[in-house]
Amino acid sequence: MARPKDNRNPVRKIKTSNIIYPVIIGLGVVGYLFYKEFDPAVFASVVFSWKTLLWCLIAFLCIFGRDAGYMIRIRVLSGNELSWKQAFRVIMLWEFTSAITPSAVGGTSVAIVYVHKEGISVGRSSAIVMLTSFLDELYFIAMFPLLVGVVGRDALFDLDAGGEGILRIGLLSVALIGYAIKLVWVILLSYGLFFNPRGLKWLLLKVFKLPLLRRWYRSMNHVGTDIINSSKEIKARSGGFWAKAIGATFLSWSSRYLVANALIMAFFGYGDQLLLFARQLVMWIMMLIMPTPGGSGFAEYIFTHFCGNLVPVPVGMQLAAAALIAVLWRFVTYYPYLIAGAVIFPKWIQTHFGKSVFPPKNRLRRAKKCAI
């Protein structure tokens, strides 16, 4: 009976070889951007100085802040049952999974396994992952209207002089659709976590009995159970718990966005940093519906064209400069997690599952013959 259970383990779907796909897509788009926008004057304008070194250091501190925020949060959510080493391992595995799966899927589907295998019960692991998802979405729900109010809708979605109005409207539409999806999910999750978890599970199962959604019925049954378990955890939490969890969430996501700000200031000088920060948040909302692993390709392209006019260089050089920043930005915020995951994941799998997760090929052949 144990074998079929392993076969349904979501970790089986994660393969280190899958890192090749986001790398190919990302580098392909980068190559295209450099081919279309390459301008030698951009590289000639870059002057390395102590200011460059300082802002590069700040960029790496932001990367550290991103991971530190995640680690602090997962320790808070686990009641400090996870050590710093375990928290680091879970976050690296989670980021790795997010980097090789579509943005809409992310690493949440297997995060429960990662947390559980570090010594947390299945029910509490489900609660931790559910709360993490809730806090992440809450950050977007709160920050998006706040930033729109501060920088203005027109400034937020206005592209460079070469951008067509249709593209601008398209970006606005995608962002609003992504925000609406997040808002609906947060409302439903809040209702289930804080008021009526069994009622929400019942509603989800009713909705996913519809013909077009029936294929996800079993998954929604698991989600509903996770919500019930999470609700029990939440009701016993204090105000201090929520302050720490929300603070760590703010630190991690804000640090994530500030990396690009620091890189632009390192190589090209100051500009409208608040507007750049706001546009990056919009980009991440758009990435909710992107089918590529980790948003690869889309992230590089949309950063270049959506944030290009915020790079403080002459207008004719902005797209080329933005393409250069996009490459640096992704190399320090995306590819390191591919490498870290490729190193940590195989050993973690061997430690926690042995060979049962990935049966030998000859055993699979025998199983297929028996089935026939």
Q: Do 98 and 294 touch, CB atoms closer than 8 A?
A: yes
Distance, CA of 285 to CA of 287 (rounded, Å): 5
Residue 46: DSSP 8-state: -
pLDDT band at 106 (very low <50, low <70, confident <90, very high): low
pLDDT at 372: 45
Among 2-16, 60-74, 130-144, 168-182, the range with the most confident prediction by mean pLDDT is 60-74
For the segment 81-90, the average pLDDT, to the nearest whole number, is: 93
pLDDT at 169: 65
Show me where the domains of the chain are located. Answer: 2-132+238-371
pLDDT band at 139 (very low <50, low <70, confident <90, very high): very high
Among 101-115, 227-241, 256-270, 292-306, the range with the most confident prediction by mean pLDDT is 256-270
Q: Which residue has the higher pLDDT, 170 or 296?
A: 296
Tell me: pLDDT of 107 over 60. no
pLDDT band at 50 (very low <50, low <70, confident <90, very high): confident
For the segment 140-157, the average pLDDT, to the nearest whole number, is: 88
Q: Do 103 and 299 touch, CB atoms closer than 8 A?
A: no
Q: Which residue has the higher pLDDT, 256 or 112?
A: 256
Tokens of 210: 């519809």
Tell me: pLDDT of 247 over 60. yes
For the segment 24-28, the average pLDDT, to the nearest whole number, is: 82
For residue range 319-348, what is the model confidence (pLDDT) as tens digits? 888 888 888 898 898 888 888 888 888 888
Mean pLDDT of the chain: 80
pLDDT band at 244 (very low <50, low <70, confident <90, very high): very high
pLDDT band at 66 (very low <50, low <70, confident <90, very high): very high
Single-letter code of the amino acid located at 288: L
pLDDT at 105: 53
Dihedral over Cα of 166, 168, 174, 176: its sign: negative
